[in-house]
Amino acid sequence: MKLIRFQPYESIPKPGIQRPDGTRIDVSGFCADYDEFFFGSGGPTRLAAWLEEHGDHCPVVDPATPLAAPCGRPSKIVCVGMNYAAHAAETGAEPPTEPVIFMKATSAITGPYDDIVLPKDSTKTDWEVELAVVIGKRASYVTEAEAMDHVAGYVLHNDVSERAFQIERGGQWVKGKSADTFAPLGPFIATADEIEDPHDLRLWLKVNDELVQDSTTRDFIFNLPQCISYISRFMTLLPGDIISTGTPSGVGLGMKPNRYLKAGDTVELGIDGLGTSKQHVKAYGQQ
Instruction: Judge if 60 and 133 occupy the same domain.
Output: no
Q: Are residues 95 and 191 in the same domain?
A: yes
Q: 25 with 91, same domain?
A: no
Distance CA 172, CA 97 (A): 19
User: Does 123 fall in a domain?
Assistant: yes
- Mean pLDDT confidence for 259-270: 98
Condensed to tens digits (0 to 9), the pLDDT of residues 16-44 reads 999 999 999 999 999 999 999 999 999 99
In this predicted structure, the answer to whether residue 92 has a pLDDT above a threshold of 80 is no
| Domain range for 130 | 72-282
Domain boundary among 37, 52, 67: 67
Per-residue pLDDT at 121: 93
In terms of C-beta distances under 8 Å and separation of at least 24 residues, what long-range contacts does 19-24 make, across chains too? 23/60, 23/61, 23/63, 24/60, 24/61, 24/63, 24/65
Residues 136, 27 within the same domain? no
Asked if 144 and 30 sit in the same domain, the reply is: no
The pTM score is 0.97
Query: Can you give the pLDDT at residue 287?
Result: 74
Distance in Å from the first CA to the final CA of the chain: 36
Last residue of a domain, one of 10, 36, 67: 67
In whole angstroms, what is the distance from residue 48 CA to residue 164 CA?
A: 45
Q: Give yes or no for a contact between 44 and 37, defined as CB atoms under 8 angstroms apart.
A: no
Number of domain units in the chain: 2
Indicate whether 96 and 221 sit together in one domain: yes
Do 168 and 273 fall within a single domain?
Answer: yes
Structural domain contains residue 225: yes
Amino acid identity of residue 163, one-letter, is: R
Same domain, 173 and 123: yes
Burial class (CB in 10 A: 0-12, 13-18, 19+), 256: exposed
| Residue of higher predicted confidence among 194 and 172 | 194
Same domain, 171 and 253: yes
- CATH code for the domain of 201: 3.90.850.10
Last residue of a domain, one of 16, 41, 67: 67
215 - beta bridge partners? Answer: 203
Shared domain for 174 and 207, answered yes or no, is: yes
Q: What is the pLDDT of residues 114-134, one digit of tens each?
A: 999 999 999 999 999 999 999
- The answer to the question of residue 287 being in a domain is no
The DSSP letter of residue 54 is H
**How many residues belong to the chain?**
287
- If you average pLDDT over every residue of the chain, what do you get? 96
